[in-house]
Amino acid sequence: MVSFFTVLLFSCQDRTKSSVGSSADEFFVFEVLPIIQSKCLSCHGDSPDEIEGGLDLRSARSMSAGGEQHAELVVPGRPEFSPLYQAIIREDPDFSMPPKERDALTEEEVQVFYHWIVAGAPWPNDLEQKQIAAAGGPRSTTRMKVQTSGGQTTHWEERYYRTDDLWAYRKPHHSDIPGQFPDKHPIDAFVEHKLLELQLPAAESATMRQLVKRVYYDLLGLPPTKEQIDAFVNDGKADSYERLIDQLIASPHYGEEWARHWLDVVRYSDSDGFSNDYLRPNAWRYRDYVVRSFNSGKPYDQFLLEQLAGDEMDPEDPEMLIATGFLRMGPWEHTAMSVAAETRQFYLDDVTNIVGETFLAAPLNCARCHDHKYDPIPTRDYYQIQAVFATTQPAQRPAPFLENENLHLIDEERERLQAWIDRTEKEAKEIVQKEERAARGWFRERGRRYLPKKERRKLNLEQQPPRYYGLSNTDLGYRKVLQKRGQILRRNLDRFEPWAYAVYNGPYRIVHSASTMRMPEELSGEAQPVFILDGGSVYAEGDSVSPGVLSVVHYLDTTLSPYFNALRHIPAGIQGRRLALAQWLIHPEHPLTARVMVNRIWQHHFGEGLAQNPNNFGASGKKPTHPE
């Protein structure tokens, strides 16, 4: 980088700023413009009707017009006098750009602007930019244009990305193991090599007592007993550590501890969220499915298939239906105050993004309203992936209890719950009786015949007792408590019934949250169409889209097999969309799926991942600490 800047500064002395193909022009096209496009235009050009601060950075002419705060944004040759440069170095908290700290330019990006301004701040016109881009240049190996399914704007499609920001979209490859450590485990060899390179000493080995405690907490989430510590410390055999690992992985607590990590990722909850926060009485079966999967050593590709498409694989297998609880873990609420189209869109947005973050380490929601600011993920991709789930409908489906499910004390718990329901109904009935006793007195005082509540409601107001007659404020408040408690408890009775908190494939359908969701008998009908939504609004439909996948995966890596490339075509019918997506995800050539899970495992063992943001392998995430 420094050597190129040196070449740039010297070469610009002999070449005019307007000459197409000059080093300065190439530097602008391959280095400066991509930063402006990714970090600046969202506020200063993408929406011409909403230009923040009056500053338009779409062209040299609009930039030269300045903004509301500064008439002259760049002083060619003098970064220290250029408001643009002063904003990006962020020394003045009242004049720092971009405004959010997390979006700040890196030190390398700041240097790019510094050297561009020193070189005279050249900005070739659109035609010259296209000619330079087509010809390539001295920096074209550090940035590249990426083909996708197609952006919403031409300038987004013309964007250049740093090649090292695209690391995750290429297949992993084997790295040469440092040769000076032939007896080391490959991972240890890389670590030792880096320590040697940096002239750092290795950390001291843990004591046997420290080691056994760490292993117990790591694998089981539980401390060892004194007897377990002593047994390990006094074992004395060469393979004591390996046998301890095998012993702990065989423990049922292993699946419980590691299921916690997965359930956090997939946002597991026992209730629906939002204002009513309705219970999910059968969600526990998905939780226990995850525990069983870890304890059985289930292969990850099978684990993924079952959660995305278990019902499509074998709808007669209760385990497969339970596994699709993954698709139900997001918040859900639909009441008389809700708009059905919005409720449905909330669900589709949630499940689209969680599939992206969980399996691809790609926050797809960033592309919901516009093409992704930092990564080659167009809005079209977002809605193509969303279309995979357009036929997915939530339901509690019958699924007989399995022999290996935890049904311990289920009868006793059902009896306890029923007793609570009976007591709640008895207390509610007592309040009703109190109100009716008062009503009888009201009628008696007036020498009239008593009428039950249902009948007297037909009378004129002056001919019946006042509303809530005979009840105190305490009675009224407690009655509401009893009503809500009864609703919750009766709903929770489903907890003891063989239902799976699952999904099915069918046409568009909305059920109120207060109602139990069951599969309809009739499943015929058309698949719900999916459109690109302008700004993510369900009321702003754009082009219709068909089911698809993350397109950059197939355009960036030229070594992919024809078979894997063919898997990107998802069926358009009601059935089979999710299974096709899952098969695309688990193909051995997929660059992201295994990489993402390996990083999660590393994170949970060692505190942070090799790539430190496990849900984001894009440009705004953090690159791997050890790329090899």
Q: For the chain, what percent of residues have pLDDT higher than 90?
A: 71
What pLDDT band is residue 101 in, cutting at 50, 70 and 90?
Answer: confident
**Residue 145's pLDDT is what?**
87
Question: What average pLDDT does this structure show over 174-178?
Answer: 87
Report the alpha-carbon distance of residue 42 to residue 38 in Å, rounded: 8
**CB 81, CB 87: distance < 8 Å:** no
**Residue 224's pLDDT is what?**
98
pTM for the whole structure? 0.84
160: helix, strand or coil: strand
More confident residue, 389 or 127: 389
Least confident of 3-7, 183-187, 338-342: 3-7
Report the alpha-carbon distance of residue 164 to residue 168 in Å, rounded: 9
In sequence order, the β-bridge partners of residue 189 are none
Q: Is the pLDDT assigned to residue 12 strictly greater than 70?
A: no
**Residue 2's pLDDT is what?**
36
**Residue 10's pLDDT is what?**
35
Q: What is the pLDDT of residues 316-367, one digit of tens each?
A: 999 999 999 999 999 999 999 999 999 999 999 999 999 999 999 999 999 9
Average pLDDT, the chain: 91
Residue 397 phi/psi, 5° resolution? -110, 145
Q: Is the pLDDT assigned to residue 223 strictly greater than 60?
A: yes
Q: Is the dihedral of CA 487, 488, 493, 498 positive or negative?
A: positive
**Residue 138's pLDDT is what?**
55
Question: What average pLDDT does this structure show over 216-229?
Answer: 97
Q: Is the pLDDT assigned to residue 455 strictly greater than 60?
A: yes
More confident residue, 515 or 297: 297
**Residue 140's pLDDT is what?**
57
What pLDDT band is residue 160 in, cutting at 50, 70 and 90?
Answer: confident
Q: Is the pLDDT assigned to residue 383 strictly greater than 90?
A: yes
Q: Could you write out the DSSP letters of every residue in 530-590? A: EEEEGGG-TTSEEEEE-----THHHHH-TT--HHHHHTT----SSSSHHHHHHHHHHSTT-
What pLDDT band is residue 16 in, cutting at 50, 70 and 90?
Answer: very low
**Residue 270's pLDDT is what?**
94
Q: What is the pLDDT of residues 469-505, one digit of tens each?
A: 999 999 999 999 999 999 999 999 999 999 999 999 9
What pLDDT band is residue 539 in, cutting at 50, 70 and 90?
Answer: very high
**Residue 353's pLDDT is what?**
97
Per-range mean pLDDT, top range of 61-70, 124-133, 345-354? 345-354
